[in-house]
Amino acid sequence: MMESLDELLRRAEAAHGHMCPGQVLGVRMAVLGLSRLRGELGLMDPEGADRKRLVTFVEIDRCATDAIGLVTGCRLGKRTLKFRDWGKMAATFVDLASGRGVRVVALEESRELSRALYGHIESKSGQQMAAYRELADAQLFREEWVRVDVDPAELPGYKGERILCPRCGEGVNFGRFSEIEGQRLCLSCAEPELHYWKPDRKQA
């Protein structure tokens, strides 16, 4: 059985470190997605018997993502939480057994609605947390059924070839390389402009 909203929010706050509108929205989004998979596809126990059936794609690296991971049991380290850096408050909950999923998107109008309905609460954050707890799913989210083809190399438990990049000498898993002039280079060596770090020349 799914825990109550209050129980999930308590756990989300403990795991994330604070309570905020994004946590409430993420919990509600995940509860909705799982309820649709349960009702339509019989995915009943995402953290137990059905844990190998569920993969979740998240489209933003904000507070809601932590809440979604907590409710679904999907984790980056388990290869069941997939991050797409699209900056959208959206997530897709996928049943691997059928290839079907439900994509849930937070409605922009819910921000205005929170202000209109809970204007007596002084802070914007407080208004949103109250609204996101109490509004109906249809007032908070748009949802649609989608098909998702998850490449076998993206699945949990996949054992792929490991290579050593000839340029930096670092190991690379899961085919994350580019072949350039006959050499299989890691992605950071193949496309150095994508580096998020540069060598610190001031090191002692």
48 part of a folded domain: yes
Enter the DSSP assignment of 62: S
Q: In this structure, what CATH number is given to the domain that contains residue 13? A: 3.30.1330.130
- Do 85 and 109 lie in a common domain? yes
- Do 149 and 169 lie in a common domain? no
Q: Which of 87, 94, 93, 91 is nearest to 105 (CA)?
A: 91
189 part of a folded domain: yes
32 part of a folded domain: yes
Return d(Cα 11, Cα 105) in angstroms, integer.
Answer: 23
Domain interval for residue 182: 163-194
- Do 106 and 186 lie in a common domain? no
**Tens digit of each residue's pLDDT, the chain (204 residues):** 568 999 999 999 998 888 999 999 999 999 999 999 999 999 988 888 888 899 999 999 999 999 999 999 999 989 999 999 999 999 999 999 999 999 999 998 888 888 888 889 889 989 998 989 999 999 999 999 999 998 887 887 777 788 999 999 999 988 888 999 899 999 989 988 877 877 777 765
Total-model pTM? 0.84
Q: Is 187 helix (H, G, I), strand (E, B) or coil?
A: helix
Q: Which of 23, 26, 21, 30 is nearest to 129 (CA)?
A: 21
Phi-psi region of 87 (alpha: psi -120 to 50; beta: other; left: phi over 0): left
- Do 24 and 65 lie in a common domain? yes
Question: Given the structure tokens 């994330």, which residue do they identify?
Answer: 16
